[in-house]
Amino acid sequence: MDVPVNVVYHPVKELGDDRHGLKDDEMDTGFYQGDELDLQELIREQVMLNIEMKPLCDENCRGICSQCGTDLNTGTCSCETKKIDSRLEVLKKLLEK
C-alpha cells in the first residue's frame, strides 16, 4: 500500500485540560508523550481507511452471490437479488400501476 500520510505531532501537554472534538484543521495532528512516537495507531488507522471495502479480482469482476456462493463470473444463480423491506412492500404496488 502506497499512501501519503501527513501528520504533525505536538507534545501532549499542548492538548491542555479542556477536551474538545477535533476540528477540520486538526485532523492531521497527533500528540506524543515522552521522547518516542508510537506510530502503530497511525499506521493501523491509515490501513483501515485506505483498504478496499470490497476487494475484487479485477474491475469487471461480478463477485460471488451472497446467498448461495456461486461465482457470478463463471455462472449464474437463481437467487432473488432484490430484497425489499417488508415495511415498504406496499409501495411496490404503486410501481405496478
* Segment 12-70, tens digit of pLDDT: 887 766 666 667 676 788 888 888 888 898 899 888 888 887 777 788 888 888 889 89
* 80: its cell numbers: 432473488
CB 69 within 8 A of CB 77: no
CA distance 20 to 94: 49
User: Which carries the bigger pLDDT value, residue 87 or residue 7?
Assistant: 7
Backbone dihedral angles phi then psi of residue 78, each to the nearest 5 degrees: -105, 20
Residue pair 26/63 in contact (Cβ under 8 Å)? The answer is no
User: Is 42 exposed, middle or buried (CB count within 10 Å of its CB: 0-12, 13-18, 19+)?
Assistant: middle
What local confidence, expressed as pLDDT, does residue 18 receive?
61
Which residue bears the cell 476487494?
55
Identify the DSSP state of 43: H
CA separation for the pair 91, 80 (Å, rounded): 19
pTM of the complete model: 0.46
Residue with the larger pLDDT of the pair 84 and 73: 73
Q: Using CA atoms, how far apart are residues 40 and 42, in angstroms rounded to an integer? A: 6
pLDDT tens for 76-96 read 988 876 776 778 778 877 877
